[in-house]
Amino acid sequence: MRIRWPRRVFAQVLAAQLAITIGVVLLATGLFLAPLSSQLDEQAMRQALSIAQTTAADPEITHDLLTTEPSRHGPVQQRAERIRHATGALYVVAMDTRGVRWSHTEAARIGHHVSTDPSVALSGHDVMQIDNGTLGRSARAKVPLRDATGKIVGAVSVGIAYDSVRERLLGAVPGLLLYAGAVLAVGVLAAIGVSRRLQRRTHGIAFADISALLEEREAMLHGIREGVVALDRQGRIRLANDEAQRLLGLGENDTGRPLDEVLPQGRTTDVLTGRVDGEDLLTVSGGRVLVANRMPTEDGGAVATLRDRTELELLGRELDSTHGLLDALRAQDHEHANRLHTLLGLLELGLHDEAVEFVAEVADTRRASAEHVAGRVHDPLVSALLVGKAAIAAERGVALRVSASTLLPDRVIDPRDLVTVLGNLIDNALDAAAHRSADPFVEVDLQAERTTVVLRVSDTGPGVPPGMRNQVFAEGWSTKQSPAHRGRGLGLALVRRLAERYGGMARVTARAGGGAVFTVVLPEALAGDDAPIRQLTVAGESR
Q: For residue 475, give every residue at least 6 positions away whose Cβ sits within 8 Å of its Cβ, in sequence order, or none.
A: 267, 282, 283, 284, 489, 490, 493
Between 128-132, 284-288, 358-362, the lowest mean confidence (pLDDT) is in 358-362
- Quote the pLDDT of residue 10: 57
Mean pLDDT of the chain: 77
**Which range, of 32-41, 144-153, 307-316, 452-461, averages the lowest pLDDT?**
307-316
Q: Alpha-carbon dihedral of residues 423, 424, 427, 429, nearest 10 degrees? A: -110
Distance, in Å, from the CA atom of 79 to the CA atom of 92, rounded to the nearest integer, reads 10
Query: Do you know the residue count of the chain?
Result: 543
In the chain, the domains with their CATH numbers are 9-168 (3.30.450.20), 225-307 (3.30.450.20), 369-542 (3.30.565.10)
Q: Say what the pLDDT of residue 183 is.
A: 75
Which CB contacts under 8 angstroms, 24+ apart, belong to 128-135?
A: 128/45, 128/46, 128/48, 128/49, 129/45, 130/41, 130/45, 130/162, 133/91, 133/159, 134/106, 134/109, 135/90, 135/91, 135/105, 135/106, 135/159, 135/161
Q: Is the dihedral of CA 408, 501, 423, 456 positive or negative?
A: negative
Least confident window among 82-86, 231-235, 364-368:
364-368
User: Would you say residue 385 has pLDDT above 50?
Assistant: yes
What is the Cα–Cα distance from 214 to 221, expressed in whole angstroms? 10
Query: What was the pLDDT predicted at 198?
Result: 67
Q: Estimate the crossing angle of helix 380-395 against helix 352-376, to 10 degrees.
A: 130
Rounded Cα distance, 46 and 290, in Å: 88
E strand residue ranges, 183-311 = 227-231, 237-240, 281-285, 288-296, 302-308
CA atoms within 13 A on the CB side of 350: 0
Write the Ramachandran bin of 150: left for phi over 0, alpha for psi from -120 to 50, otherwise beta: left
The confidence score (pLDDT) of residue 488 equals 45
Alpha helices, H only, 226-379 = 242-248, 259-262, 267-273, 310-348, 352-376
Please name the helix (run of DSSP H) or strand (run of DSSP E) that holds residue 530, with its range, or none: none
Which has more pLDDT, 87 or 530? 87
26/273: higher pLDDT:
273
pLDDT in tens, 114-134: 888 888 888 889 999 887 666
**Percentage with pLDDT > 70 across the chain:** 71
Quick one: pLDDT at residue 254? 85
Question: Tens digits of per-residue pLDDT, 7-38?
Answer: 565 566 667 767 777 777 777 767 766 666 67
pLDDT number for residue 532: 43
Alpha-carbon span 384 to 407, nearest angstrom: 15
Query: Which pLDDT score, from 0 to 100, does residue 370 have?
Result: 63
Of residues 219 and 419, more confidently modeled: 419
Q: Residue by residue, what is the 3-state secondary structure of 64-127?
A: HHHHCCCCCCCHHHHHHHHHHHHHCCCEEEEEECCCEECCCCCHHHCCCECCCCCHHHHCCCCE
| Share above pLDDT 90 across residues of the chain, in percent, rounded to a whole number | 8
Beta strand pairing call for 399-402 and 441-449: parallel
Among 66-80, 156-170, 302-316, the range of highest mean pLDDT: 66-80
Q: Does position 415 have pLDDT exceeding 70, yes or no?
A: yes
- pLDDT tier for residue 483 given thresholds of 50, 70 and 90: very low
Listed range (89-103, 130-144, 449-463) with the worst mean pLDDT: 130-144
One-letter amino acid identity for 350?
Answer: G
The model's confidence at residue 142, banded by pLDDT at 50, 70 and 90, is: very high
Could you tell me which residue, 315 or 174, shows the higher pLDDT?
A: 174
CA-nearest of 100, 96, 64 to 82 is 64
Rg of the Cα atoms in the chain? 54
Instruction: List pLDDT tens digits, range 31-74.
Output: 766 666 677 778 888 888 999 999 888 888 888 888 888 888 88
Q: What is the mean pLDDT of residues 404-425?
A: 85
Of 95-99, 102-106, 399-403, 536-540, give the lowest mean pLDDT range. Answer: 536-540
What 108-115 contacts at long range (C-beta under 8 Å, 24+ apart), as own/partner pairs, is 108/72, 109/134, 110/70, 110/71, 110/72, 110/74, 110/77, 111/70, 111/71, 114/157
- In terms of pLDDT, which residue wins out, 220 or 434? 434
pLDDT at 500: 79
* Closest by Cα among 330, 331, 525 to 422: 525
CA atoms within 13 Å, Cβ hemisphere of 380: 8
Can you tell me the distance from the alpha carbon of 120 to that of 55, in angstroms, rounded to the nearest whole number?
Answer: 18
The confidence score (pLDDT) of residue 8 equals 60
Beta pairing partners, 139: 130, 160
CA distance linking residue 479 with residue 429, whole number of Å = 13
Instruction: State the average pLDDT over residues 191-216.
Output: 66
Q: How confident is the model at residue 518 (pLDDT cuts 50, 70, 90)?
A: very high
| pLDDT, tens only, 238-250 | 888 888 888 888 8
Cα angle: 211, vertex 212, 217; to 5 degrees: 100
Say whether 232 sits in a helix, a strand or coil. Answer: coil
* Cα maximum dimension of the chain: 182
